[in-house]
Every structure is written in structure tokens, then in C-alpha cells.
Amino acid sequence: MQASFTEENYLKAIYHLSEEGRQQVNTNRIAMVLNTKPASVTDMLKKLSEKNLLNYTRYQGVSLTDPGRNIALKVIRKHRLWEFFLVEKLNFGWDEVHDLAEQLEHIQSVELINRLDSFLGFPEYDPHGDPIPKDNGTIKCYDLKPISALHVGETGTIAGVREHSPLFLQYLEKMNLVIGKKISMEEVIAYDETVVITTENNQKINISKAAAKNILITI
Amino acid sequence: MQASFTEENYLKAIYHLSEEGRQQVNTNRIAMVLNTKPASVTDMLKKLSEKNLLNYTRYQGVSLTDPGRNIALKVIRKHRLWEFFLVEKLNFGWDEVHDLAEQLEHIQSVELINRLDSFLGFPEYDPHGDPIPKDNGTIKCYDLKPISALHVGETGTIAGVREHSPLFLQYLEKMNLVIGKKISMEEVIAYDETVVITTENNQKINISKAAAKNILITI
DNA sequence: TTGTTGTTTTAGATGTGTCTAAATTTTTAA
DNA sequence: TTAAAAATTTAGACACATCTAAAACAACAA
């Protein structure tokens, strides 16, 4: 089953949206994340549905079929391996690689991506802590929690992020809140839910509620 | 000046055609190398001409403008750097990389390609012996000759090829006629212009006239 | 100079992915 | 239960790159 550049982007977006929420994904959300209009989304959903890549009934939202999910995972595999390559081999910052990987993820060649995987030493996670799907379509399922889910006194290690915008990643870099850092929850300010965390060297850092939701940790 | 995927392919093809022959490139040749129809070529030529990427007058063929040649050279730079990467880092054969590089050459990012260049150690030639254009748009001009131009008794070193099809490259590989090999011209069979060459270890190899025209050497 | 041949261009159509504006359906609130 | 609001879909159009068939042009030989 061959999917076009655009079709791949739709499938990937729908995969991400169904991961982060309920089963059925709605038209407006898709239009929003793909920077397009709901009418265009409807057109594409009909097309993908005819190709049996997703289940679609008018007004009811969509879910991926197995072939559809498979294509999405292949694209995500490519995206994350290229990100790893760009950071580890070409020394890009973790905030610079997303747009490049959006292009590279559409290069068609199973052989290429498997050799890249091998060249990189079969990494398990990309530079943002996201798991890299294997060639056979399996993907580690995350049991990461956002910092905001920690109770006061609890400790964790930063292992991922939930938002990939350059601005957010640059902010984390500047605060030295990078993957692998151990932190513990100090307190939550009642007024605006600002979170105070402590790093290994006993430094206290205040982060906003929004930021705390987007930093993921293992316990 | 941004050119689309397809526009880039036209500019690259026209660049290659004007290298290998006279100045003006004709419509039918372009259609042939791009695997498309002359009518489509005409449409595109009008478009590229309006963008000032080439000089076009009806029925008179085309030549690239400076901006057009510049885009073509950037694409060729990317193509050849990616080919080098695929062969040197991912261990592809020199006969396997062309189609992949045709995809990779359209990734848009000057930063990416310059970092790749640096990662690869600023190579001067791609795996087929073609010179890699520099970021500033300069390119080494070849003074390679085909084997068929050697006189009997003359010696040369294989430095490039004029044809990139997998079949031809696999044939060379099998005969061990790879870049760097020293050969000398033994004789030309009068009957069908088959060329007999001798390798360093005194092995005699017969190659057809067509093949001899497509293997390039330095003296 | 004229006619033939081969090349090139125009005219009109198709497929993909997008859009706006209007209509329809679902959801929510009264 | 019904009306208003929100979400979704249809209808009709456009841009891009392509195609076929037919017309226009160039080059060459007689």
C-alpha cells in the first residue's frame, strides 16, 4: 500500500491525535494540527477511507485501520531515526530538527531506513525521549508522567517532552532541564499552580503549570 | 528564489543536457530524460522562463540563466553529497544510490547540507567520480576522457563514469573496473571496435565500444 | 520554391490537494 | 423538546503538473 506525501501526513497526524486522547479523532482537530481547513480534511478522509486506511463515517470522526496505523508507524520511525541522526551525527540542537525530519520522513526506502538504524546503533529513543518504532511495527509504550502529576516530595528523571516547538525546547535547554536530569517536586504554589522543583545540585526552579504538563518523567 | 520539486528536476536535467552537448537544449531531449511528454515540457519551460530561471523563445530551445544554473548546481551538490553519504556511511553499493539521492536532493535546508558536507569531510568527488559543487556554486571542471579516446599503448586511471545505470555500474564492479584502477590501452579490434585493455596485474579485458565511451580516465 | 518530415506548441482535459461559501448534521443549552 | 451554536460536509472553484490530439513551425530535399 503506497501513500502519498500528503496522505502520510494525515495518517501520522491522526495517529498522534488518537494516542493523546480518546479513540475517535475529529475533523477540526486534524485541520488544526495540519494547518489546513476542515473541508480539505473531509475530502482526504473520504479518500483514505476508500483506501481502507481508516474507518470513517460522516459526522462521526475517524480511527485508523491496521494498515493505516502501520503506515503511520513507519513514518514516525523514519522521523525519529532522522532526528537522532541529525542530533547525534550532524550536531543539530534538539530544538532544530523537527522541520527537517518532517521532510526526511517521506523518503521512500525501507532499505535506507534500516541501514540508517544500524548505522546509528539501533537507538531506542529519539532526542526528545520518544520511542522509535521497530521495523516490524512495534513501539515501546510509554509509561511516562508529566511533572505536574508528581506529589510533593516525589522524585523522577526527565525522560521526554510532550511538546516539540523550538521555543519550548530552547527554554528547557536554557534551564538545563534536559533528558536524564533527576528532579524532585518541592511544592505547588496555590495561587497559579506554578511548580517548584529541585535539581540534583539543590537548585530550585519555578516552572509554569503549562510547562510542567509538557515535561515527562520516569519514577 | 524557491523552486518546486518538479522545477528543480527540470533545471537539473537542463543543466546536465547543456553540459554534455551544445548550448541550446531542445524540448524532445528534455522530455526523454525526464520521462514525460514534449507538451508538458513546453508548459514548464514557459513557467520557468517567467520566473527568469531560463531563457526561452518558442521553437528555439532553452538555456539556463544564472539564477537557474545556481539552483541546478545546488540540487546537484545535494545529490552528490547524499550519494557519498549513502556509500561511505551506510555501505550501499555505487549502483544502488542513484534513486535514493534523487529523493534526498530535494530536501530543503542549506544548513543541513553544509553540516552533511562537514560530517563527510568535505569530499571533492561522489562515488561515481563526479565533482561535488561547493556551497558558493563553484564546480571543478572535469578534464576526464573516455577510455575510447586513448591511443594504443597509452595509460590512464579510472576516475569516473558517464552513465549511472545500475546495470552498467554492476558490470564495472564485476570486472573490477572501479575508480582508481590503472589501465592501459592494448588494442582496438577493427571488426566491431571492441577495446582491449590491460590492468595492473596484466590481465586483459575486452570491453565494448559503448562501455569504453562511458568509462572516464585521467592520464 | 514547394512539399515533406520531424519538432514544437496550443487547446482542452484529467488527477491531486486545496480553498470559500453555503448547507447539513450533531451537540448543547434553555 | 426545541432553538441556537458548533462541527462537519457538500458544491463549486482553483493551482499545479500532467496528458492526448491537433495545429503551427522549422529544416531540408527535390
Nucleotide with minimal C1' distance from the CA of A4 is C16
Question: Which of A90, A96, A118 has the highest number of chain B CBs within 10 A, making it the mutation to test binding with B?
Answer: A90
pTM over 0.85: yes
* Interchain contact, B100 vs A107, CB within 8 Å: yes
pLDDT in tens, chain B (219 residues): 679 999 999 999 999 999 876 568 999 999 999 999 999 999 999 999 999 999 999 999 899 999 999 999 999 999 999 999 999 999 999 899 999 999 999 999 999 999 999 999 999 999 998 999 999 999 988 788 889 888 999 999 998 898 888 999 999 989 999 998 999 999 999 888 899 999 988 889 999 988 988 999 998
CA distance A20 to A13: 11
Establish if A119 touches chain B: CB-CB under 8 angstroms.
Answer: yes
Across the interface, of B86, B90, B109, the residue whose CB is closest to A100 is: B109
Instruction: Confirm whether B74-141 and B145-218 share one CATH topology.
Output: no
CA distance A129 to A125: 5
Structural class in CATH, domain B74-141: mainly alpha
CA distance B205 to B55: 46
CA distance B83 to B62: 29
Structural class in CATH, domain B5-64: mainly alpha
Nucleotide with minimal C1' distance from the CA of B29 is C7
Q: A101-153: per-residue pLDDT in tens?
A: 999 999 999 999 999 999 999 999 999 889 999 999 999 887 888 898 889 99
Q: B84-139: per-residue pLDDT in tens?
A: 999 999 999 989 999 999 999 999 999 999 999 999 999 999 999 899 999 999 99
Spell out residues with C-beta < 7 A from strand D: A 26-29, 38-39, 41-43, 45-46, 56, 58-61; B 4-7, 34, 36-37, 39-40, 43-44, 47, 59
Query: What chain B residue is nearest to A97 in terms of C-alpha separation?
Result: B112
Across the interface, of A103, A109, A112, the residue whose CB is closest to B107 is: A103
CA geometry: angle at A99 spanning A95 and A100, to 5°? 100
Domain map (residue ranges) of chain B: 5-64, 74-141, 145-218
Range B145-218: architecture per CATH: Roll (2.30)
Across the interface, of A90, A103, A107, the residue whose CB is closest to B119 is: A90
Name the β-bridge partners of B197: B185, B205
Q: Which of residues 137-166 of A touch B (CB under 8 A)?
A: none
